[in-house]
A = this chain, B = another copy of it.
Amino acid sequence: MTTRLSDIADEAGVSVMTVSNVMNGKRARVSPATIEKVLGIAARLGYVPNIPARSLAANSSHIVAALVPVGENNSLLVSPHTVAVVGGMETHLRHHGYHVLLRGIEHEDQVAQTIRGWSLDGVVLVEFPDEQIDRLRVDTVPLVAIDSYSANPRTIGVRSDDHGGGRLAGRRLADAGHRGVLFAGPPYQGMGVVGQRWAGFREACLEAGLDPGGVGSVEVLTSFEDGRRLGLRLRRDHPGVTAVFATADHLAVGIMAGIVEAGGSVPGDVSVIGFDDLDFARYTTPGLTTIAQNMPAKVAEASRIILAEIERGAGAGDREPVALDVHLVERGSVGPPRA
Protein backbone atom coordinates (compact mmCIF):
# COMPACT_ATOMS: atom_id res chain seq x y z
CA MET A 1 0.00 0.00 0.00
CA THR A 2 2.35 2.62 1.28
CA THR A 3 5.81 2.97 -0.17
CA ARG A 4 8.61 2.47 2.29
CA LEU A 5 12.30 3.09 2.12
CA SER A 6 12.86 -0.62 1.70
CA ASP A 7 10.66 -0.68 -1.41
CA ILE A 8 12.86 1.91 -3.00
CA ALA A 9 15.99 0.17 -1.81
CA ASP A 10 14.88 -3.14 -3.32
CA GLU A 11 14.07 -1.63 -6.64
CA ALA A 12 17.26 0.38 -6.79
CA GLY A 13 19.37 -2.52 -5.63
CA VAL A 14 20.91 -0.58 -2.78
CA SER A 15 20.56 -0.67 0.97
CA VAL A 16 17.88 1.07 2.98
CA MET A 17 20.47 3.33 4.54
CA THR A 18 21.58 4.66 1.22
CA VAL A 19 18.04 5.55 0.36
CA SER A 20 17.60 7.13 3.76
CA ASN A 21 20.70 9.20 3.23
CA VAL A 22 19.53 10.35 -0.14
CA MET A 23 16.09 11.31 1.13
CA ASN A 24 17.58 13.28 3.98
CA GLY A 25 19.92 15.31 1.88
CA LYS A 26 23.03 13.66 3.30
CA ARG A 27 24.13 13.39 -0.25
CA ALA A 28 27.78 13.93 0.40
CA ARG A 29 27.77 10.27 1.33
CA VAL A 30 26.25 8.98 -1.86
CA SER A 31 27.37 8.94 -5.46
CA PRO A 32 25.53 11.19 -7.89
CA ALA A 33 24.43 8.25 -9.99
CA THR A 34 22.86 6.50 -7.02
CA ILE A 35 21.21 9.70 -5.90
CA GLU A 36 19.58 10.20 -9.22
CA LYS A 37 18.38 6.63 -9.46
CA VAL A 38 16.95 6.63 -5.96
CA LEU A 39 15.26 9.96 -6.41
CA GLY A 40 13.70 8.77 -9.63
CA ILE A 41 12.24 5.66 -8.09
CA ALA A 42 11.05 7.55 -5.03
CA ALA A 43 9.21 10.01 -7.20
CA ARG A 44 7.70 7.29 -9.35
CA LEU A 45 6.51 5.34 -6.33
CA GLY A 46 5.22 8.43 -4.62
CA TYR A 47 7.29 7.96 -1.53
CA VAL A 48 6.15 9.90 1.53
CA PRO A 49 8.32 9.61 4.63
CA ASN A 50 6.66 8.24 7.72
CA ILE A 51 6.99 10.97 10.31
CA PRO A 52 6.30 8.94 13.44
CA ALA A 53 8.88 6.35 12.43
CA ARG A 54 11.44 9.01 11.82
CA SER A 55 10.67 10.70 15.11
CA LEU A 56 10.96 7.48 17.01
CA ALA A 57 14.24 6.44 15.49
CA ALA A 58 15.89 9.82 15.54
CA ASN A 59 14.35 10.92 18.82
CA SER A 60 13.53 14.19 17.17
CA SER A 61 10.32 15.07 15.43
CA HIS A 62 10.84 18.16 13.35
CA ILE A 63 7.87 19.49 15.27
CA VAL A 64 7.74 22.86 16.97
CA ALA A 65 4.80 23.24 19.30
CA ALA A 66 2.92 26.47 19.76
CA LEU A 67 1.79 26.35 23.36
CA VAL A 68 -0.99 28.60 24.60
CA PRO A 69 -2.31 28.62 28.13
CA VAL A 70 -6.02 28.03 28.51
CA GLY A 71 -8.19 28.69 31.49
CA GLU A 72 -11.51 26.96 31.96
CA ASN A 73 -12.91 25.87 28.65
CA ASN A 74 -11.62 28.87 26.81
CA SER A 75 -10.83 28.55 23.20
CA LEU A 76 -7.37 29.17 21.85
CA LEU A 77 -6.20 31.92 19.56
CA VAL A 78 -8.40 34.58 21.02
CA SER A 79 -6.04 37.46 20.53
CA PRO A 80 -5.20 38.65 17.01
CA HIS A 81 -1.65 38.72 18.25
CA THR A 82 -1.44 35.07 19.02
CA VAL A 83 -3.01 34.38 15.69
CA ALA A 84 -0.42 36.38 13.83
CA VAL A 85 2.37 34.68 15.71
CA VAL A 86 1.15 31.13 15.25
CA GLY A 87 0.10 31.57 11.64
CA GLY A 88 3.26 33.39 10.70
CA MET A 89 5.54 30.90 12.35
CA GLU A 90 3.86 28.00 10.62
CA THR A 91 4.81 29.56 7.32
CA HIS A 92 8.41 30.16 8.25
CA LEU A 93 8.88 26.77 9.84
CA ARG A 94 7.20 24.92 7.00
CA HIS A 95 9.68 26.44 4.59
CA HIS A 96 12.41 24.87 6.68
CA GLY A 97 10.86 21.44 6.96
CA TYR A 98 9.33 21.82 10.38
CA HIS A 99 5.77 21.36 11.51
CA VAL A 100 3.57 23.12 14.01
CA LEU A 101 1.59 21.42 16.71
CA LEU A 102 -0.99 23.69 18.26
CA ARG A 103 -1.67 22.88 21.88
CA GLY A 104 -3.60 24.45 24.73
CA ILE A 105 -1.90 24.10 28.11
CA GLU A 106 -4.14 23.60 31.09
CA HIS A 107 -1.40 23.05 33.61
CA GLU A 108 2.25 24.05 33.67
CA ASP A 109 3.44 20.48 33.87
CA GLN A 110 1.99 19.82 30.46
CA VAL A 111 4.73 21.90 28.90
CA ALA A 112 7.47 19.47 29.87
CA GLN A 113 5.22 16.49 29.23
CA THR A 114 4.40 17.64 25.75
CA ILE A 115 8.04 18.17 24.94
CA ARG A 116 8.96 14.66 26.04
CA GLY A 117 5.94 12.88 24.69
CA TRP A 118 6.32 14.31 21.23
CA SER A 119 10.10 14.51 21.07
CA LEU A 120 9.57 18.13 20.18
CA ASP A 121 12.42 20.00 18.55
CA GLY A 122 11.33 23.41 19.75
CA VAL A 123 8.64 25.31 21.57
CA VAL A 124 7.04 28.69 21.21
CA LEU A 125 5.30 30.01 24.27
CA VAL A 126 2.51 32.44 23.50
CA GLU A 127 0.55 34.46 26.02
CA PHE A 128 2.28 32.87 28.98
CA PRO A 129 2.53 35.04 32.07
CA ASP A 130 6.11 35.72 33.14
CA GLU A 131 5.64 34.07 36.54
CA GLN A 132 4.78 30.85 34.82
CA ILE A 133 7.72 31.07 32.46
CA ASP A 134 9.99 31.71 35.43
CA ARG A 135 8.98 28.37 36.87
CA LEU A 136 9.57 26.36 33.72
CA ARG A 137 12.45 23.94 33.93
CA VAL A 138 13.21 22.62 30.53
CA ASP A 139 16.68 22.34 29.11
CA THR A 140 16.31 19.86 26.31
CA VAL A 141 14.82 22.06 23.60
CA PRO A 142 14.89 25.73 22.63
CA LEU A 143 12.05 27.72 24.12
CA VAL A 144 11.05 31.02 22.60
CA ALA A 145 8.68 33.08 24.68
CA ILE A 146 6.67 35.72 22.86
CA ASP A 147 6.21 38.98 24.75
CA SER A 148 8.05 37.65 27.74
CA TYR A 149 10.32 39.56 30.09
CA SER A 150 11.01 36.49 32.19
CA ALA A 151 14.56 36.13 33.45
CA ASN A 152 14.44 32.36 32.99
CA PRO A 153 17.72 31.62 31.20
CA ARG A 154 16.15 28.60 29.52
CA THR A 155 13.88 30.80 27.46
CA ILE A 156 14.50 33.45 24.86
CA GLY A 157 12.14 36.40 24.88
CA VAL A 158 10.91 37.99 21.68
CA ARG A 159 8.84 41.11 22.09
CA SER A 160 8.30 44.62 20.89
CA ASP A 161 10.00 47.60 22.44
CA ASP A 162 7.20 48.11 24.94
CA HIS A 163 9.03 50.67 26.97
CA GLY A 164 9.80 52.69 23.85
CA GLY A 165 6.20 52.35 22.73
CA GLY A 166 5.01 53.70 26.05
CA ARG A 167 7.38 56.63 25.66
CA LEU A 168 6.08 57.35 22.17
CA ALA A 169 2.53 57.48 23.47
CA GLY A 170 3.43 59.67 26.45
CA ARG A 171 5.39 62.06 24.30
CA ARG A 172 2.62 62.34 21.78
CA LEU A 173 0.02 63.26 24.39
CA ALA A 174 2.33 65.65 26.22
CA ASP A 175 3.31 67.36 22.98
CA ALA A 176 -0.36 67.84 22.17
CA GLY A 177 -0.63 69.82 25.37
CA HIS A 178 -2.35 67.36 27.68
CA ARG A 179 -1.62 67.79 31.38
CA GLY A 180 -3.96 65.20 32.83
CA VAL A 181 -3.44 61.77 31.27
CA LEU A 182 -4.49 58.23 32.13
CA PHE A 183 -2.87 54.88 31.49
CA ALA A 184 -5.37 52.05 31.03
CA GLY A 185 -4.22 48.45 31.07
CA PRO A 186 -4.86 45.06 32.62
CA PRO A 187 -3.69 44.20 36.15
CA TYR A 188 -0.10 43.04 36.07
CA GLN A 189 2.82 42.00 38.22
CA GLY A 190 6.43 42.97 37.83
CA MET A 191 7.93 44.53 34.75
CA GLY A 192 6.21 42.56 32.03
CA VAL A 193 4.73 43.98 28.87
CA VAL A 194 2.23 46.13 30.69
CA GLY A 195 4.72 47.29 33.28
CA GLN A 196 7.15 48.32 30.55
CA ARG A 197 4.56 50.31 28.69
CA TRP A 198 3.45 52.08 31.80
CA ALA A 199 7.02 52.88 32.83
CA GLY A 200 7.85 54.28 29.41
CA PHE A 201 4.65 56.25 29.28
CA ARG A 202 5.11 57.76 32.71
CA GLU A 203 8.76 58.55 32.06
CA ALA A 204 8.01 60.43 28.85
CA CYS A 205 5.16 62.36 30.44
CA LEU A 206 7.29 63.47 33.37
CA GLU A 207 10.19 64.37 31.09
CA ALA A 208 7.80 66.55 29.17
CA GLY A 209 7.02 68.42 32.35
CA LEU A 210 3.74 66.90 33.44
CA ASP A 211 2.99 66.92 37.12
CA PRO A 212 3.30 63.40 38.62
CA GLY A 213 -0.24 63.83 39.90
CA GLY A 214 -1.35 64.37 36.34
CA VAL A 215 -0.19 60.93 35.20
CA GLY A 216 -2.63 58.35 36.51
CA SER A 217 -3.33 54.74 35.75
CA VAL A 218 -6.32 52.47 35.99
CA GLU A 219 -6.78 48.72 35.73
CA VAL A 220 -9.14 47.46 33.06
CA LEU A 221 -9.37 44.12 31.35
CA THR A 222 -8.34 44.11 27.73
CA SER A 223 -11.68 44.05 25.99
CA PHE A 224 -13.98 46.34 24.10
CA GLU A 225 -16.66 45.98 26.74
CA ASP A 226 -14.43 46.83 29.67
CA GLY A 227 -13.04 49.77 27.70
CA ARG A 228 -16.52 50.99 26.97
CA ARG A 229 -17.41 50.93 30.65
CA LEU A 230 -14.31 52.95 31.45
CA GLY A 231 -15.21 55.46 28.76
CA LEU A 232 -18.72 55.82 30.13
CA ARG A 233 -17.56 56.76 33.63
CA LEU A 234 -14.42 58.58 32.60
CA ARG A 235 -15.62 62.13 33.12
CA ARG A 236 -17.04 61.29 36.52
CA ASP A 237 -14.21 59.15 37.86
CA HIS A 238 -11.34 61.03 36.29
CA PRO A 239 -12.46 64.61 35.84
CA GLY A 240 -9.03 66.07 35.14
CA VAL A 241 -8.13 63.58 32.42
CA THR A 242 -8.07 64.81 28.84
CA ALA A 243 -6.23 61.89 27.24
CA VAL A 244 -6.03 58.13 27.67
CA PHE A 245 -3.33 55.66 26.64
CA ALA A 246 -4.68 52.12 26.39
CA THR A 247 -2.36 49.10 26.21
CA ALA A 248 -4.40 47.49 23.47
CA ASP A 249 -6.43 48.62 20.51
CA HIS A 250 -9.45 46.60 21.58
CA LEU A 251 -9.47 48.48 24.82
CA ALA A 252 -8.83 51.85 23.18
CA VAL A 253 -11.67 51.41 20.76
CA GLY A 254 -14.00 50.47 23.60
CA ILE A 255 -12.97 53.55 25.53
CA MET A 256 -13.72 55.72 22.51
CA ALA A 257 -17.13 54.14 22.19
CA GLY A 258 -17.87 54.71 25.87
CA ILE A 259 -16.83 58.35 25.73
CA VAL A 260 -19.06 59.00 22.74
CA GLU A 261 -21.92 57.10 24.30
CA ALA A 262 -21.61 59.29 27.39
CA GLY A 263 -22.04 62.35 25.22
CA GLY A 264 -18.39 63.27 24.79
CA SER A 265 -16.32 63.44 21.65
CA VAL A 266 -12.97 62.05 20.55
CA PRO A 267 -10.59 63.81 20.31
CA GLY A 268 -12.62 66.93 21.14
CA ASP A 269 -13.17 66.13 24.79
CA VAL A 270 -10.76 63.30 25.29
CA SER A 271 -7.89 62.02 23.18
CA VAL A 272 -7.27 58.28 22.96
CA ILE A 273 -4.19 56.40 21.86
CA GLY A 274 -3.87 52.62 21.54
CA PHE A 275 -1.25 49.91 21.10
CA ASP A 276 -0.91 47.22 18.41
CA ASP A 277 -2.31 48.76 15.23
CA LEU A 278 -4.78 46.02 14.51
CA ASP A 279 -6.88 46.08 11.36
CA PHE A 280 -9.89 47.65 12.94
CA ALA A 281 -7.95 50.66 14.22
CA ARG A 282 -8.83 52.31 10.94
CA TYR A 283 -12.48 51.29 10.99
CA THR A 284 -13.50 53.65 13.78
CA THR A 285 -14.48 57.29 13.50
CA PRO A 286 -12.12 58.95 14.04
CA GLY A 287 -9.46 56.37 13.21
CA LEU A 288 -7.43 55.24 16.19
CA THR A 289 -4.02 56.75 16.68
CA THR A 290 -1.89 53.93 18.00
CA ILE A 291 1.55 52.46 18.57
CA ALA A 292 2.15 49.93 15.84
CA GLN A 293 3.96 46.68 16.45
CA ASN A 294 5.98 45.17 13.67
CA MET A 295 4.34 41.75 13.68
CA PRO A 296 6.02 40.34 10.58
CA ALA A 297 9.40 41.15 12.07
CA LYS A 298 8.43 39.68 15.40
CA VAL A 299 7.33 36.45 13.79
CA ALA A 300 10.37 36.28 11.54
CA GLU A 301 12.67 36.87 14.45
CA ALA A 302 11.01 34.24 16.61
CA SER A 303 11.25 31.72 13.78
CA ARG A 304 14.83 32.57 13.05
CA ILE A 305 15.83 32.07 16.66
CA ILE A 306 13.98 28.78 17.04
CA LEU A 307 15.56 27.38 13.90
CA ALA A 308 19.02 28.61 14.82
CA GLU A 309 18.77 27.09 18.27
CA ILE A 310 17.56 23.80 16.89
CA GLU A 311 20.51 23.66 14.52
CA ARG A 312 23.10 24.35 17.11
CA GLY A 313 21.50 22.12 19.69
CA ALA A 314 19.77 23.51 22.71
CA GLY A 315 22.98 24.79 24.11
CA ALA A 316 24.80 28.08 24.07
CA GLY A 317 24.06 30.81 21.58
CA ASP A 318 23.05 34.40 21.41
CA ARG A 319 20.31 33.83 23.90
CA GLU A 320 19.80 37.55 23.99
CA PRO A 321 16.17 38.55 24.17
CA VAL A 322 15.00 40.50 21.14
CA ALA A 323 13.01 43.72 21.10
CA LEU A 324 11.40 44.89 17.87
CA ASP A 325 10.92 48.52 16.99
CA VAL A 326 7.52 50.15 17.25
CA HIS A 327 6.23 53.33 15.72
CA LEU A 328 3.43 55.83 16.05
CA VAL A 329 0.55 55.67 13.58
CA GLU A 330 -1.38 58.90 13.43
CA ARG A 331 -5.08 58.56 12.64
CA GLY A 332 -7.14 61.18 14.36
CA SER A 333 -8.02 60.10 17.88
CA VAL A 334 -5.46 62.43 19.41
CA GLY A 335 -5.81 66.18 19.41
CA PRO A 336 -5.17 69.11 21.72
CA PRO A 337 -7.06 69.27 25.02
CA ARG A 338 -10.22 71.34 25.13
CA ALA A 339 -9.40 74.92 26.12
Contacts and interface: CB of A to CB of B under 8 A. Distances in A.
Contacts of A117: 48-51
A82 to B, nearest CB: 9
B91 A73 contact: yes
A326 to B, nearest CB: 20
Given A99-B101, A117-B48, A117-B50, A78 B70 contact: no
Interface of A: 2, 48-53, 55-56, 61, 66, 70, 73-78, 83-84, 86-88, 90-91, 94, 99-104, 113, 116-119, 224, 250, 253, 257, 260, 279-280, 282-285, 299
Given A56-B53, A103-B94, A48 B86 contact: no
Given A279-B224, A283-B284, A52 B61 contact: yes
* A-B residue pairs, 8 tightest by C-beta: A77-B87, A52-B55, A76-B87, A280-B280, A52-B52, A52-B56, A285-B285, A48-B117
B282 A285 contact: no
Nearest to A61: B52
Copies of this chain assembled into the complex: 2
B103 A90 contact: yes
A327 B113 CA distance: 43
A83 B102 CA distance: 12
A264 to B, nearest CB: 14
Nearest to A254: B283
22 contacts: A2-B116, A48-B113, A48-B116, A50-B56, A50-B119, A53-B56, A56-B56, A66-B102, A70-B91, A74-B91, A75-B84, A75-B88, A75-B91, A76-B91, A77-B86, A77-B90, A86-B102, A90-B104, A91-B104, A102-B102, A224-B283, A284-B285
Contacts of A113: 48
A118 B52 contact: yes
A103 B100 contact: yes
Contact of A100 (B78, B102, B116, B253): B102
Contacts of A253: 283
Contacts of A285: 260, 284-285
Contacts of A75: 84, 87-88, 90-91, 299
